[in-house]
Amino acid sequence: MLARERVAVVDHAPTLAELTPGRTGNLSVRRGDRFAATPTGVPYDEFDPADVPVVSLDGEVVAGDMKPTSEVPMHTGIYRRLDAGAIVHTHSTWATTLAVLGEELPPIHYMITAVGRKVPVADYAPYGTDDLAELVVEEMEAADSKACILAHHGLVVTGDDLASAVENTFVVENLCRVYLQARQHGTPAELSEDQLATVEEKFRSYGQ
Strand ranges (DSSP E) for the chain? 26-31, 34-37, 54-56, 61-63, 86-90, 121-122, 147-150, 154-159
Domain assignment present for residue 159? The answer is: yes
User: Active site residue: 5, 46, 60, 71, which one?
Assistant: 71
Q: What is the pLDDT of residue 90?
A: 98
What is the CATH classification number for the domain harbouring 8?
3.40.225.10
Clarify whether 71 is annotated catalytic. yes
Domain assignment present for residue 208? The answer is: no
130-135 mean pLDDT: 99
Q: How would residue 208 be classed by pLDDT, with cut points 50, 70 and 90?
A: low
| pLDDT exceeds 80 at position 207 | no
Q: How would residue 204 be classed by pLDDT, with cut points 50, 70 and 90?
A: confident
Count the domains in the chain.
Answer: 1
Closest CA to 78 of 163, 157, 161: 157
| pLDDT tens digit sequence for 4-59 | 999 999 999 999 999 999 999 999 999 999 999 999 999 999 999 999 999 999 99
Domain that holds residue 105: 3-203
Q: What is the pLDDT of residue 63?
A: 98
| pLDDT exceeds 80 at position 206 | no
